[in-house]
Amino acid sequence: MELKLNNGVTMPALGLGVFQSPPEETTAAVQTALEVGYRHIDTAAAYGNEREVGEGIRRSGLDRGDVFIETKVWVSDYGYDESLHAWDKAVGKLGVEQLDLLILHQPAPDRFEKTVAAYKALETLLADGRVRAIGVSNFMPQHLKQLLEATDVVPAVNQIELHPYFAQRNVQAADAEHGVLTQAWSPIGGITFYPGWGENRKNVMRDPAIAAVAKAHGKTPAQVMLRWHLQQGRSAIPKSTNPARIAENFDVFGFELSAAELAAIDALDTGVRSGPDPDVARPERFAMVIPEA
Ligand SMILES: NC(=O)c1ccc[n+]([C@@H]2O[C@H](COP(=O)([O-])OP(=O)(O)OC[C@H]3O[C@@H](n4cnc5c(N)ncnc54)[C@H](OP(=O)(O)O)[C@@H]3O)[C@@H](O)[C@H]2O)c1
């Protein structure tokens, strides 16, 4: 299933995420994903595994043009020249000559002028054909508005925290209004259950309403959540390093949720995020240096 971006480029709706995938497991995870049919990988400079993603793609034997590669510029590389150079680092590690989608990892709310300069570098990379599409991540409507006022190219994608417990309908609406495709991170709610991210979180994977829909279709909660994204027109990039779960998360094209089931999942939204608030300045993030290729 392909989605058309606002510049005409097509992107497979479902991709493999690799946040927290240890480098030594990433090559195999990417290879497995490509074997079971994924054609889209979402990585980031900050994940420290772009090199292994590139290796997994090469080992698959697929043509470069058959795999959609998405990666992200980290905040410490924001600024015009810095972000142009972030492209050099990314393609050097991935071992490719062109990126399919390059996005800003998050707004830097206290240094928005640097965020804008970084985006202008993405516009240059796009004009030069070094990337096929550009976008943003974790942009709230006010960040998007500020960016649109200061730049020329409307982002193709906004990648945000989005699962049944936090659907961010206001962000989805702002994205849609401007022709920006919303892409869900933690699409099966990883941020609500992966360890070390705070106690007392409510695990969306164990939600009884989702379990009921899953049971009705003979599917798993993860598959139901991915169907919910796809049927509502979003891109989703579930992460796994486990071969069975990588395959499970791609086996979502043979069933359909009803309007009532979609509405039941929509009704689970708590309005409370589990991940970091993009509007809070986090100066410590600028201390993380992205290594050269
Ligand atoms: N832009 C951003 O700021 C941002 C932030 C977070 C994530 N992301 C991107 O979005 C991707 C996905 O988000 P995420 O990794 O946070 O969460 P996720 O994909 O919703 O969930 C991943 C977690 O679920 C487990 N899992 C995977 N498939 C499963 C299944 N079928 N049944 C049960 N458990 C399953 C994984 O463990 P196993 O590996 O052991 O299967 C992992 O702990 C990331 O990898 C990254 O590419 C972007």
* Residues 110-169 pLDDT 10s: 999 999 999 999 999 999 999 999 999 999 999 999 999 999 999 999 999 999 999 999
Q: Does the Cβ of 286 fall within 6 Å of ligand 1?
A: no
Q: How far is the CA of 129 from the centre of ligand 1 (A)?
A: 30
CA atoms within 13 A on the CB side of 42: 29
56 CB near ligand 1 (under 6 Å) = no
pLDDT at 284: 92
Pocket test for ligand 1, best of 162, 183, 188 (most atoms within 8 A of CB): 188
Phi-psi region of 93 (alpha: psi -120 to 50; beta: other; left: phi over 0): alpha
pLDDT of residue 233: 98
What's the confidence (pLDDT) of residue 9?
98
Residue to mutate, 106, 239, 245, 282, ligand 1, most ligand atoms under 8 Å from C-beta:
239
pLDDT, position 127: 98
Residue ranges, the chain, pLDDT below 70: none
Catalytic residue among 38, 47, 78, 119: 47
Q: Which structural domain range is residue 206 located in?
A: 2-286
Whose CA is closest to atom 32 on ligand 1?
A: 222
53 within domain boundaries: yes
Q: Assess if residue 291 is contained within a domain.
A: no
pTM: 0.98
Residue 238 lies in a domain: yes
* Cβ(112) – ligand 1 distance below 6 Å: no
Residue 292 lies in a domain: no
CATH number of the CATH domain containing 161? 3.20.20.100
Nearest CA to ligand 1 atom 36: 240
What confidence score (pLDDT) does residue 197 get? 77
Give me ligand 1 centre to Cα 240, in Å: 6
- CA Rg, the chain, in Å? 18
Ligand 1 pocket test, pick from 52, 185, 205, 249 with the greatest ligand atom count within 8 Å of Cβ, gives 185
Structure tokens at 58: 């090469």
Q: Is 293 inside a domain boundary? A: no
Whether residue 161 lies inside any domain: the answer is yes
Give me the pLDDT at residue 196, please. 78
Active site residue 47: yes
Q: Nearest Cα to 56, choosing from 81, 79, 36, 84? A: 36
Cα separation, 174 vs 170, whole angstroms: 6
Q: How many domains does the chain have?
A: 1
Please give the distance, rounded to the nearest whole angstrom, from the Cα atom of residue 16 to the centre of ligand 1: 9
For residue 143, tell me if it sits in a domain. yes
Question: What does the DSSP assignment read for the chain?
Answer: -EEE-TTS-EEESB-EE-TT--HHHHHHHHHHHHHHT--EEE--GGGT-HHHHHHHHHHHT--GGGSEEEEEE-GGG-SHHHHHHHHHHHHHHHT-S-BSEEEESS--GGGHHHHHHHHHHHHHHHHTTSBS-EEEES--HHHHHHHHHH-SSPPSEEEEE-BTTB--HHHHHHHHHHTPEEEEESTT-GGGTSTTS-SS---GGG-HHHHHHHHHHT--HHHHHHHHHHHTT-EE--B--SHHHHHHHH--SS----HHHHHHHHTT--S--SS--TTS--GGGGGPPPPP-
